[in-house]
Amino acid sequence: MKVNKIVVLQLMMSMILMLGTASCSKKSSSSRASRATGWDVDSQNGTAARNAGKKQQAGPGLVFVEGGTFTMGKVQDDVMHDWNNTPTQQHVQSFYMDETEVTNGMYLEYLEWLKKVFPPTEENYKNIYEGASPDTLVWRNRLGYNETMTNNYLRHPSYANYPVVGVNWIQAVEFAKWRTDRVNEAVLEKNGYLKKGAKTQDVSAESIFNTEAYVASPSTTYGGNEELVLKKNPNGRRPKAGKDGVVPEEKNVYAQRSSGIILPEYRLPTEAEWEYAAAADVGQREYNIYKGQKKYPWSGDYTRSSKRKNKGDQLANFKQGNGDYGGIAGWSDDGADITNAVKSYAPNDFGLYDMAGNVAEWVADVYRPIIDNEANDFNYFRGNQYAKNKIGKDGKIEIITKDNIQYKTLSNGKKVATNLPGEIAQVPVDENETYLRQNFTTSDNINYRDGDKQSSKYFDFGDSESGAKADQSMYNSPKHNVTTDSLGQMVRKYDSSSKRTTLIDDNVRVYKGGSWRDRAYWLDPAQRRYFPQDMATDYIGFRCAMSRVGAKAEKRKSPRN
């Protein structure tokens, strides 16, 4: 009996020891040691180490596009004989893209915000709202009655889900910048870094949130109002008292890039990204090859559906023929005569709608007749103009205020605000950033290898005076000018020279995809055209993109059997 009691006691002691060991191991596993220093990451301020492995969240309205290689510029037809889409092999990094084109409803949110924050009734702000407003007169035609669209297309609720038009390239870029700030403002509010409701109740021309200004100097956000910009314990736990009974001061920080919650900027997609996303060759991939070339964003060589459910229906909104924009009444070919509501047609294999037809779309690139894959075949883009934050005399970043808003005067005299209050003033990079660099030597790289003096037909590599003269550039395009006289009146100077040989310059941008005004020829994702960046039409809209940070794929790949 005594022996049995001893055995029971031994078993009980063993169980207690096992439970203690388990709890100790559980406790030790809850803390994480740095692979660099061995320090306890959770007890330190190292947010980068603490948030290691945190994945990027997709911004509102975006669809993930997994990157890969593709043949850019490969068209089946070239009846225009432009010779501007010679096939080149390119690789595109993973990114996000708007599921649909930016709609009238989305753009009106932007205009309403501008009207609230910068009342156009005030003289100092009137050009902000007017400069962002789409040109509704693009609908007018000399021999056509389109006043209904002129007066209603942008603002009538019936057109809220239709793609916005009348927006030039510069306005599209400014919308993307505004969208970046509003999305990150909401994200930071949700995570407790900004006062709840500040984005609607406390915003004004002197109190605005800007993403880059917040990252660089959080105290400058909302005009320096510290009551709106909150600090937060990164661990989410209050510090405990030490052995001496004293509770250490709570370590509060602002959100940073290393916090993993601030999203990259919304922007226009590059030409390579747009074409890759539109072609969506992923739908016909077999192992590591493509099973043929697609002519359109959908499979097949025809514009009509072959599926039993909707057999014969057009797969995009485009011009069927001369005088035929939508087919015979009662049974329409594509269901639209002008633009159509987004998501009216099936998406492509990336889940993107209207990558052919409806409206053509602005992309980020400056137009050139060639794609220079010899210089670069990864994330190709022509248009880089590198800048840096402007530092004031006090050694701090310079924030734009209501007194020094920066405007860009377009060739037609319209003013567009390019730097709003709350943003950081930007200046071109100088020799401090370019000295002894191999990857870039100047701030403006638009003309690299095509348009600079070395690329000009007048350039003489043996000339000691460095070749081409200033007026002997490759692209002899018109040079319109807008100035202001001594009375403040605008003076428009139109270049009527008969010696101009091209319309190509550094201010023309690529637009892609067919539109409701275009024949099926332009629905091919590889087709490319250009238009002045400060002009708008009734058939060019846009959608936004966002770079992907982190892994190329969203899900871990598994071998196929």
For residue 428, pLDDT over 60 is answered with: yes
Name the more confident of 139 and 234: 139
Give CB contacts under 8 A, 24+ apart, made by 135-144.
135/166, 135/167, 135/168, 135/536, 136/166, 137/166, 138/165, 138/166, 138/536, 138/537, 138/538, 139/166, 139/538
For residue 182, pLDDT over 50 is answered with: yes
Q: How many CB atoms lie within 10 A of CB 125?
A: 21
Question: For residue 157, what is the enclosing H or E element?
Answer: none
Name the more confident of 424 and 482: 424
Domains of the chain: 59-236+251-378+509-547 (3.90.1580.10), 454-505 (no CATH)
Burial 341-354 (b: 16+ CB within 10 A, else e): bbebbebbbbebbb
Residue type, 111: L
Instruction: For residue range 17-75, list pLDDT tens digits in order.
Output: 565 555 554 444 456 677 777 877 665 555 555 666 678 888 999 999 999 999 999 88
CB 129 within 8 A of CB 118: yes
For residue 156, pLDDT over 70 is answered with: yes
- Residue 280's DSSP bridge partners are none
Mean pLDDT of the chain: 86
Q: What is the pLDDT of residue 57?
A: 87
Q: Is 242 exposed, middle or buried (0-12, 13-18, 19+ CB in 10 A)?
A: exposed
For residue 442, pLDDT over 50 is answered with: yes
Three-state secondary structure call for residue 528 = strand
Q: What is the pLDDT of residue 28?
A: 44
Question: Nearest to residue 350, comparing CAs of 6, 19, 58, 65?
Answer: 65
Q: What is the pLDDT of residue 136?
A: 96
Question: Nearest to residue 165, comparing CAs of 546, 535, 529?
Answer: 535
For residue 140, CA distances in Å to 136, 145, 166 come to 8, 7, 11
Question: Nearest to residue 353, comparing CAs of 363, 340, 344?
Answer: 344
Q: DSSP states of 253-264 as a string?
A: B---GGGS-SPP
- Residue 103's DSSP bridge partners are 163
264's tokens: 């990259």
Number of residues that this document lists for the chain: 561
Three-state secondary structure call for residue 176 = helix
Q: What is the pLDDT of residue 381?
A: 97
Q: CB under 8 Å to 187, separation ≥6 — which residues? A: 261, 262, 263
259's tokens: 């916090």
For residue 294, pLDDT over 70 is answered with: yes
Instruction: For residue range 253-273, list pLDDT tens digits in order.
Output: 899 898 889 999 999 999 999
**High-pLDDT (> 70) share of the chain, %:** 85
pLDDT confidence tier of residue 177, bands split at 50, 70 and 90: very high
Name the more confident of 442 and 231: 442
Mean of pLDDT values over 532-555? 94
Instruction: For residue range 468-487, list pLDDT tens digits in order.
Output: 565 667 788 888 888 777 77
Three-state secondary structure call for residue 378 = strand
211's tokens: 């993403």
CB 494 within 8 A of CB 517: no
For residue 440, pLDDT over 90 is answered with: yes
For residue 234, pLDDT over 90 is answered with: no
DSSP state of 409: E
DSSP state of 402: T
Query: What phi, psi does 71 have (nearest 5°)?
Result: -95, 110
DSSP state of 551: -
**Distance between the two ends of the chain, CA-based, in angstroms?**
64
In 57-103, which residue ranges form alpha helices assigned H by DSSP? none
Burial 369-382 (b: 16+ CB within 10 A, else e): eebebeeebeebbb
Q: What angle do CA 128, 134, 137 make, to 5 degrees?
A: 125
Q: What is the pLDDT of residue 124?
A: 86
Question: Nearest to residue 528, comparing CAs of 67, 80, 10?
Answer: 80
Q: What is the pLDDT of residue 354?
A: 96
3-state secondary structure 101-141: CCEHHHHHHHHHHHHHHCCCCCCCCHHHHHHHCCCHHHHCE
Q: CB under 8 Å to 336, separation ≥6 — which residues? A: 317, 325, 326, 344, 358, 516
Question: Nearest to residue 261, comparing CAs of 189, 313, 206, 312?
Answer: 189
- Residue 183's DSSP bridge partners are none
Rounded Cα–Cα distance for residues 56 and 59 (Å): 9
For residue 237, pLDDT over 70 is answered with: no
Instruction: For residue range 317-331, list pLDDT tens digits in order.
Output: 999 999 999 888 887
| Range with lowest mean pLDDT among 52-61, 104-113, 219-228, 459-468 | 459-468
Mean of pLDDT values over 285-300? 75
For residue 15, pLDDT over 90 is answered with: no
Q: What is the pLDDT of residue 27?
A: 45
